Amino acid sequence: MPGGDAREAAKTVTGSLEDFPFLPELPARGPGADMIGRTAGLLVELYARVEPSGWRIGDRPGRDTKRARSWLGEDLDALEEFTQGYEGDLKVQAVGPWTLAAALELRNGEAALSDPGACRDLAASLAEGLRLHLDEVRRRVPGARLVLQLDEPSLTAVLRGQVKSASGYRTHRAVDRQVVEATLRDLIGVHAGGPVVVHSCAPDVPFTLLRRAGAAAVSFDAALLTERDDEAIGEAVEGGTRLFAGVVPGTDGPLSDPAGSVMGVRTLWRRLGLRPGLLAEAVTVTPACGLAGASPAYARQVLAHCVRAARSLADNPE
């Protein structure tokens, strides 16, 4: 979300999305509130600090780790305030293990992705950190059913060997798909009994791999889909995987009418030959990616627009 006021963000989210609020992230506050820094603050027995090149793993918790944890505490306080008595789905999100490994640097300046042992340590630390984080959210909002979202925008690049080295002149070797899948399966298992969504707003989302890893839903930018994705999406839907379809632009601009926003989803459904009545059960309407680059007014408008577009999809599936 845009801005830096935790209470205002929590108020907006809980007021706009009465059936599916989420814990807002406010990266405009600076390092530690950004996507990577926030998740680095969740790690157990691993710490990170900000260097000119980005976030780097260090030996001890410094001011950057403390700042990340302080802002997360502020956000949780605000969420707790505006969810008194709430019962229903509540989404929390963190960066997934592979995007984190591609973004966090080792002491030598190379990505953790370059070292299989570092990747394993990072995934184990993240798993423990997520357990503690989910327990804390449950304590603060006891009536909620938690939905965990893992943000993996670098996943395709990791699988294809497209993550650049520190020098920028070469790329790190592609990680074996079975290793990627097994690591994600272990992370997803942390939220035992609760649904996990894997989000990527990059092209060529590996739908089949994510299904096999146990993701209950896949979140994506619908504008980046091609007909090459049709078979994998059809199999996912028929296998019970939910789609978080990013159909509303995340930065300021004119919005179409709600029915127009989900026209592409209806077209996809017809192309796949799926039952129209399944649409409301299988699709959640979302912004294409995060709203951090939007104005506060536009972000509020988008959340309300998503609700109306979802209603349109449910009322008129054909």
Residues 221-225 have a mean pLDDT of 95
**What pLDDT, on the 0 to 100 scale, is given for residue 280?**
87
Q: In the predicted model, what is the mean pLDDT of the chain?
A: 95
Q: Which domains does the chain have, with CATH numbers?
A: 6-28+69-315 (3.20.20.210)
**What pLDDT, on the 0 to 100 scale, is given for residue 141?**
97
- pLDDT tops 90 at residue 83: yes
Q: Write down the pTM of the prediction.
A: 0.96
pLDDT in tens, 105-152: 999 999 999 999 999 999 999 999 999 999 999 999 999 999 999 999
- pLDDT tops 90 at residue 49: yes
The number of angstroms, rounded, from the C-alpha of 26 to the middle of its chain's C-alpha atoms is 14
**What pLDDT, on the 0 to 100 scale, is given for residue 277?**
87
- pLDDT tops 90 at residue 14: yes
- pLDDT tops 90 at residue 316: no
Residues 296-303 have a mean pLDDT of 96
Cβ neighbours of 107 (radius 10 Å): 9
**What pLDDT, on the 0 to 100 scale, is given for residue 318?**
75
- pLDDT tops 80 at residue 103: yes
Residues 230-258 have a mean pLDDT of 94
**What pLDDT, on the 0 to 100 scale, is given for residue 247?**
96
Q: Express as a percent the part of the chain with pLDDT over 90.
A: 92
| CB contact at 8 A, 250 and 294 | yes
Among 134, 313, 153, 304, which residue's Cα sits nearest to residue 219? 153
Looking up tokens 């530690």 gives 32
- pLDDT tops 90 at residue 193: no
**What pLDDT, on the 0 to 100 scale, is given for residue 188?**
97
**What pLDDT, on the 0 to 100 scale, is given for residue 155?**
98
Confidence of residue 31 (pLDDT cuts 50, 70, 90): very high
HEC states along the chain? Answer: CCCCCHHHHHHHHHHHCCCCCECCCCHHHCCCCCHHHHHHCCCCCCEEEEECCEEEEECCCCHHHHHHHHHHHHHHHHHHHHCCCCCEEEEEEEECHHHHHHHCECCCCCEHHHCHHHHHHHHHHHHHHHHHHHHHHHHHCCCEEEEEEEECCCHHHHHHCCCECCCCCCECCCCCHHHHHHHHHHHHHHCCCCCEEEEECCCCCCHHHHHHHCCCEEEEEHHHCCHHHHHHHHHHHHCCCEEEEEEECCCCCCCCCHHHHCHHHHHHHHHHCCCHHHHHHHEEEEECCCCCCCCHHHHHHHHHHHHHHHHHHHHCCC
